[in-house]
């Protein structure tokens, strides 16, 4: 994988076309079914790759067009999870959701996304990135009636994710990303087993490995939570030293319009950083100069050859037009700073 200086990327999800599912909504139900749904999701994936190419992004993602939700869709394919048996749990200590139950030993037959990844590989020559949920975030989106231990279940999921990651790598994926928003909430678990479980999920991979930790999609529960966090968000201070010492290659973090103190980026010295220069919680389009300013701030704490300009989080809940404009702003802002650094 060869990348230019300051290669641009999104975190992952993009809005879906309205013929595929209802726009600007999380967990939006599909508007197609059966073979038509399969054909539709792959068409949408092709479109998402093309929109990223037109915007000028250097690292292309699938836009998560073949999944309804970044965690739930993966879990749907697992043995041992009963989707009929639902319990209400508190997600990331923030909002209640009705979730499926782990009712027996968990396992995965084959791969969930390898065919989709091969499709993405076939429609672009640029490096491609694929996101999977992290073990801790999966646990946080389930009710466990079998293992009786978050840590035990995490190790099971880590093994399954490793199986999936190896299949994605074989399909041609260059960067495999694990989404762990739960790392911003359960700090004792992150220290005790969270990072170790993540390393287990990446075992034996030659592809670059990334972990995405954010303050969530721009939905009301997350925005309300952010208001309680005060003027300095120091959550990353607890996890970054552990990740700096880990085998993970890339850390994806939130920065623009957030109260994350920029000097916390220095705790990850030596790692590649996907720095969020696009706010996904507003429809307002960043100017290229605003993006450039966020990137310049980051460059005081990360080497230029390790900086990947990115979005704060996924853009699934936005409109397609807004998401496309934000991608163009990201690319234009990175271009300004590229000229200054080179």
Which positions touch Zn ion (CB under 5 A)?
214, 313
Gap between the Cα atoms of 315 and 51, Å rounded:
13
- Whichever of 134 and 159 has its CB closer to Zn ion, that residue is 134
- Whichever of 112 and 281 has its CB closer to Zn ion, that residue is 281
Q: What sign results for the dihedral spanned by CA atoms 230, 232, 236, 238?
A: negative
Alpha-helical segments (H) within 68-179: 72-76, 114-123, 135-139, 150-170
Q: How far is the CB of 313 from Zn ion (least distance, A)?
A: 3
DSSP state of 243: H
Gap between the Cα atoms of 302 and 287, Å rounded:
22
Q: How far is the CB of 253 from Zn ion (least distance, A)?
A: 10
Buried-state track 132-147, b at ≥16 Cβ within 10 A, e below 16:
bbbbbbbbbbbbbebb
Q: How far is the CB of 86 from Zn ion (least distance, A)?
A: 24
- Whichever of 196 and 214 has its CB closer to Zn ion, that residue is 214
The pairing of strands 250-253 and 128-133 is unpaired
- Whichever of 244 and 258 has its CB closer to Zn ion, that residue is 258
Can you tell me whether residue 4 is helix, strand or coil? coil
- Whichever of 142 and 214 has its CB closer to Zn ion, that residue is 214
Written as one string, the DSSP assignment of 8-54 is ----S--PPPTTTB-SS-TTPPBS--HHHHHHHHHHHHHHHHHHHHH
Q: How far is the CB of 118 from Zn ion (least distance, A)?
A: 25
- Whichever of 214 and 315 has its CB closer to Zn ion, that residue is 214
Q: How far is the CB of 184 from Zn ion (least distance, A)?
A: 9
| Inter-residue contact 151 to 145 (CB < 8 Å) | no
Q: How far is the CB of 107 from Zn ion (least distance, A)?
A: 27
């Amino acid at each position: 994988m060869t990348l230019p200086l300051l290669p641009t990327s999104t975190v992952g999800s993009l809005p879906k076309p309205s013929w595929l599912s209802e726009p600007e909504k999380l967990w939006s139900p599909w508007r197609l079914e059966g073979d038509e749904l399969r054909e539709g999701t792959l068409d949408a994936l092709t479109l998402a790759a093309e929109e990223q190419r037109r915007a000028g992004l250097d690292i292309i993602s699938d836009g998560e067009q073949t999944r309804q939700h970044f965690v739930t869709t993966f879990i749907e394919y697992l043995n041992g999870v009963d989707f009929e048996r639902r319990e209400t749990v508190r997600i990331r200590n923030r909002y209640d959701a009705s979730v499926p139950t782990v009712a027996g030993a968990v396992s995965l037959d084959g791969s969930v996304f390898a065919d989709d990844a091969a499709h993405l590989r076939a429609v672009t020559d640029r490096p491609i990135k694929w996101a999977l949920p992290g073990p801790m975030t999966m646990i946080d989106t389930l009710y466990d009636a079998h293992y009786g231990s978050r840590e035990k279940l995490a190790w099971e999921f880590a093994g399954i994710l490793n199986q999936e990651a190896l299949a994605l790598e074989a399909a041609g994926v260059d960067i495999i990303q694990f989404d762990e928003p739960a790392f911003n909430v359960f700090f004792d678990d992150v220290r005790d087993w969270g990072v170790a479980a993540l390393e287990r999920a990446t075992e034996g991979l030659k592809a670059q490995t990334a972990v995405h930790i954010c303050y969530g999609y721009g939905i009301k529960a997350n925005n309300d939570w952010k208001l309680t966090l005060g003027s300095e968000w120091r959550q990353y201070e607890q996890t970054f030293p552990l990740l700096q010492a880990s085998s993970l290659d890339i850390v994806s973090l939130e920065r623009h319009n957030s109260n994350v103190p920029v000097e916390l980026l220095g705790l990850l010295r030596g790692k590649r950083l996907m720095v969020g220069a696009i706010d996904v919680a507003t429809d307002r389009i960043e100017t290229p100069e605003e993006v450039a300013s966020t990137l310049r701030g980051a460059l005081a704490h990360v080497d230029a050859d390790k900086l990947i300009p990115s979005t704060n989080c996924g853009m699934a809940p936005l409109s397609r037009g807004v998401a496309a404009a934000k991608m163009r702003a990201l690319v234009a802002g990175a271009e300004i700073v590229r000229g200054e650094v080179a």
